[in-house]
Amino acid sequence: MACFRIDNRLVHGQVIEAWLPYTDARHLIVANDDLAENIFCQQIISLAVPQRVTIHFVPLSQLAETLSRCGDKSFVLFASCQDAYTAYQNGVAMPELNIGNLHYAEGKRQLLPHVAVSAEDTAALCALRAADVLLDFRCVPTETVRGLDVQL
């Protein structure tokens, strides 16, 4: 089964050092419309990814197709709750969604130490939860799974 994570930092140390080995992913799929068009940033980010993992930068509209080609050994990164919800609306089957990091900004409320949400974030996460997507609030895989106890 493919793994899905929201992290506004996208590719960084926790993903490379913790999540990719934990999930044994062979494909790292960054589903982000802006990054899918920025070849320069893609090249820089790709330098951090282990050679055993193939990285893909795709717009949200192409995520379902990319997942069907890459298969279950995929780890998908979203920059925002809205992107994850858009992917779900576009037919991406997402039984579980890890919410790893959402930085605090004006207009957001701190939900957990590593997650601050806006009204739009909350609406997207509530819609996903209502669609029976299990929300998993963890920074790293060794943390205890939090989901049902988190009040949105």
Catalytic residue among 12, 27, 56, 114: 12
The number of angstroms, rounded, from the C-alpha of 146 to the middle of its chain's C-alpha atoms is 16
Known catalytic residue: 114? no
Report DSSP state, residue 143: S
With the CA atoms of 94, 50, 137 and 84 taken in that order, what torsion angle do they form, in degrees rounded to the nearest 10? -40
Closest CA to 97 of 89, 88, 106: 88
Residues belonging to the active site: 12
